[in-house]
Structure 1
Amino acid sequence: MRLETLAVHAGSRIDPATGAVAPPLYLSTTFERATDGSYPHGWIYVRHGNPNRAALEEAMAALEGGATALAFASGSAAAFAVFQALSPGDRVVISKDLYHGLARLFREILPAWGLRVEFVDLTDPAAVEEALRTPARLVWVETPSNPMLRITDIAWVADRAHAAGAWCFCDNTAATPILQRPLALGADGVVHSATKYLGGHGDVMGGVVVLREEDAFARRLREIQITGGAVLSPFECWLILRGLRTLPYRMRAHSENAMRVAEFLARHPAVKAVHYPGLPDHPGHAIAARQMTAFGGLLSFQARGGREAALRVAGRVRLFTRATSFGGPESLIEHRASIEGPGTSTPEDLLRLSIGLEHPDDLIEDLDQALMEKPH
């Protein structure tokens, strides 16, 4: 079954009680027991499971081509659960360029749990080979990375990780299973912030882990999900499942719009550099073209004139909204170094763009006037 069809039908069934075509919303926190103490309907308590969560998890496993999926209260909670499932003393190799919230998790919280974390440039084969000479339990890839849009060769890194006795997990938030399927490229697990493109409307927060195998690690993750309780609410599951139905077509439009904007920015005299893997001169373009079906709606660029020039552009847009996050229908612009704070490695002249579903000519006109306007 093709992805467009899976997106519409996976996890969705006609309601047997009413014949409703749209999935019902089940808000009950608890479920009736039989007189013998069993649970004849299969549900116990909302933390253990819920029909809406089961439907979303089934759909995400199908879209990523995995054996099982687990939905969490946020993308960070999903990632945190993966690392909670490891053992004290385990060593983890992490992408050097990645979402700053996860970088903080790896630097400030996980070491206290006894995990040894090493940040490595996973786009550099020599650096990967060197890092894996020391035993590791897991290699964490983020591609395309946020906010520099660096591209890691998933198949190659997964192969090297497996040769070293490590698992390979991939943060697939920016690409989604529509543009990139890490499990098919050899990864063992995929993590999403469902807050972004999966939900797709900027009105829900959630996270998902999809695993290649239903094995002991999957059972450990399920135990952490249920006992730890960082589960996704029924309504949020319902919203994300609804978002999945249009995901293939939204990702196509996001990608087409972003390519148009990136090409415009690459020609603009006020722009120093554009980071978008769809551009032929991007250092990861060949790998991205091989492992992605399109290049996504996220891009960043560096303004000539440094931090002040970048902030000036962000302050003068009229159609873009100055806000964090990405993946919604409206286009957003953000000065990443400001939100990431002290110690950030993001260039001070960089602006991250989430390209939405507006007409690309309107987005280009807005950026053009913001870039060309001179300070008073």
Structure 2
Amino acid sequence: MKHLNNGRALTLVLVAVLLGVLCYYITPSFRGIKLFKENDIRQENRLDADVIHVSREFHLVAPDHLQYKQPSIVHGSRTDVVTVTPWLAPVVWEGTFNPVLLDSIYNKKNVSITATVFAVGKYIMFLKNFLETAEQHFFIGFKVHICVFTDRPDEVPQVRMATGRQLTVRSVPSSKRWQEISARRMELIQSLIEEQLPNDSGYIFCLDVDSKFHGRWGTESLGGLVAVIHPGYYRDDRSKFPYERSPESRAYVAPGEGDFYYCGGAFGGLLQEVHQLAKTCRSNFESDAKEGIEAAWQEESHLNRYMWINKPSKVLSPEYLWQDFKPKNPEVHIIRFSGVIKNYAEIRPNA
């Protein structure tokens, strides 16, 4: 009996030894499989991080069988103006685009457009004309949201808007200086995008209320970062541009620098691009203010500094913000949007 028990014990010992040997050789294999899977997952994650997702901005799909005039690369539709910048951004003039083709492309994208407009103080008097003409010319046939910032919400006019278009009103405080109204625009645009449009992948344009539409403003103006060339300086040498010339200011543009002089009264682009512009200009303006510095043309000066470094991907000609007191120059075939004639002494609180 004693020998039997010893035999069983020996058998158990041998089985344990065999299992140990098997585990020694098998476990590394399992460890290797697990390590391989972990490495594979890490590799997939790394590849995902390296993938460049093509922006829908550059994925332009036209409807099948759409008929339109054949384009040419040897016979330009405009030879009297420059239609591309040195960094290869289009400059949009009448005759340089096919509106039917563009609208058909962007209709497939189901884009939405937000427009901000500031009607503070006596500037409320311009809002009705702005809204009514926008209903006639601004992105007709597309989803449009016009956001009015005003300190007089009860005076916002009732304007009938087409299906798919809406108007909202955001109250803002009054100001005793028109410069403060101008300067706060970047802050309010930044806040609007962060608070109300954070998940929207559409476009936004920031427009002056003391203006009106005369002609089409549509999909030809869409781009990543969109600037409008100022009608008062587009024929001038850049030495005459009213850039901020004080090196102490964060809006400073040095002599010999600058591309064009852009309007502060009309700019736009993709929401994320305009958000970055507004955030940067606001930060720079506030940093200047802490040092007692105010740029020559407030947010317009900071916008021009920003766009000197961050080149716009599309540039709109002066057709997109003309001045009503100026006669139309020969190269301007159509006026799409313009600043109306006004008496600044009557409408600005400290003019």
Please indicate, yes or no, whether the TM-score normalized by the shorter chain is above 0.5: no
Q: Give the TM-score normalised by the residue count of structure 1.
A: 0.25
Higher relative contact order (CA 8 A, sep 6+): 2
Q: Please report the TM-score for the alignment, with normalisation by the length of structure 2.
A: 0.26
